[in-house]
Amino acid sequence: MLRKRSLRARIISTGSYAPEKVLTNHALEQMVETSDEWITERTGIKERRIASPEQTASDLAYEASKQALKTAGLKPKDIDLIIVATVTGDTPLPSTACVLQRKLGAKKAAAFDVNAACSGFLYALSMADSFIKSSAFKKILVVGTEVLSKFTDWKDRTTCVLFGDGAGAVIIEPTEEDRGIISTHIYSDGEFGDLLLVPAGGSSIPASEESVKKRLHYIKMKGNETFKVAVKTLENLVVDTLKKNKLKPSELSLLIPHQANLRIIQATAKRLKLPMDKVFINIDRYGNTSAASVPIALDEAVRQGRVRDGDYILMEAFGGGLTWASALVKW
């Protein structure tokens, strides 16, 4: 009897895009009562990118996707499936993935969105991995894109200093080689949903004059409580992911964490006893871009030559929902 070779999903290319406009901590000092020193010490953020009034999540996704397609030497019509992770999509209906499909002219592709907040890209990657392994699709475009600036309360200093806009994309396809996505892990706990949310705009509190007046369409976060849960959860997540794959932290070439807070990233690295030069950090330039954060970081790591063939890289994220997720990849 013929033994079927096991299929793996492999990331064959990456791309990313961030809007041109840079908002520095010093500029924020003119907008709310804050300081460059406070923001830098508490978060590690120095500046973030802000979309123009006309730019939407699908516009950012389009730029990142075009780059990933070019790097892979593929045309939009080669793509079978588009998964977009976002919590700041163009409209509640249709999905941002369908808008992106139209903009790209990816006629053949099925398309849908995933909402898992900052963990969204890794949730989407996990699904794409399963679709490849089951041979349902051959070429999948996975995108994380956010225009958080349009959901940010620019009068609330506890949140407005944290977020930024951007998009990252990857293309994955099947391989029979000993490389690719080794394992993905996705988790959630809805009990903590009130730590990080946008209260209005859904069926719970539909848009009304009152909801706008009460500023309920903006992101609300209990920052300190979220911080504590994030540190504990991510520490356990990275340790478990390595354990499940019988890998020692020293065998990791690069940790690509969600960029929410430098102190959270440092705590995760410390738990793995990883030196910080094995941890990818760009939070200083982008802030927290939610679902876009991990794919932007991955794209920059690849373009900077920090990911080489055969390297083990670990990606992880934590976000609203609550949700958390990881992916171990052999490049």
Beta-carbon-side half-sphere exposure of residue 61 (alpha carbons within 13 Å): 33
Per CB under 6 A, the list member of 166, 168, 257, 319 interacting with ligand COA is 319
Which of 34, 115, 183, 188 touches ligand COA by CB under 6 A?
A: 34
Active-site hit among 25, 261, 282, 288: 288
**Closest CB to ligand COA among residues 126, 289:** 289
How many residues would you count in the chain?
Answer: 331
Those residues with Cβ within 8 angstroms of residue 85's Cβ, 6 or more apart along the chain or in another chain: 113, 114, 115, 116, 120, 121, 123, 124, 142, 143, 144, 145, 291
Active-site residue, from 25, 98, 160, 258: 258
187 binds ligand COA per the rule CB under 6 A:
no
Site string for ligand COA, 62-101 (x = CB under 6 A): ----------------------------------------
Task: Taking each helix axis as running N to C, give the angle between helix 223-244 and helix 262-271, from 0 to 180 degrees, rounded to the nearest 10.
Answer: 30
Closest to ligand COA by CB, 101 or 226: 226
Among 118, 182, 186, 255, binds ligand COA (CB under 6 A): 118
Q: Respond yes or no: is residue 115 known to be catalytic.
A: no
CB of 135 to ligand COA, least distance (A): 34
Residue 184 or 268: the one with the smaller Cβ distance to ligand COA is 268
Please confirm, yes or no, whether 160 is among the known catalytic residues: no
Q: Which of 118, 160, 261, 282 is catalytic?
A: 118
CA 191 to chain CA mean position, Å: 22
| 98, 264, 272, 313: which one binds ligand COA (CB under 6 A) | 264
Closest CA to 320 of 188, 124, 152: 188
Rule CB under 6 A: say whether 266 interacts with ligand COA. no
Q: Is 98 a catalytic residue?
A: no
Q: Which lies closer to ligand COA via its Cβ, residue 68 or residue 292? A: 292
User: Residue 279 and residue 276: Cα distance in Å, rounded?
Assistant: 5
The strand pairing partners of 142, in sequence order, are 83, 170
Count CA atoms closer than 13 A to 10's CA, side-chain side. Answer: 16
What is the CB neighbour count within 10 angstroms for residue 251? 11
Q: How far apart are CA 108 and CA 232, in angstroms?
A: 43
Does 197 participate in binding ligand COA (rule CB under 6 A)? Answer: no
How far is residue 177 from each of residues 79, 153, 182, measured CA to CA in Å?
21, 48, 12
Q: List interacting residues with ligand COA (CB under 6 A).
A: 34, 38-39, 42-43, 118, 157-158, 161-162, 196, 223-224, 226-227, 230, 260-261, 264, 288, 318-319
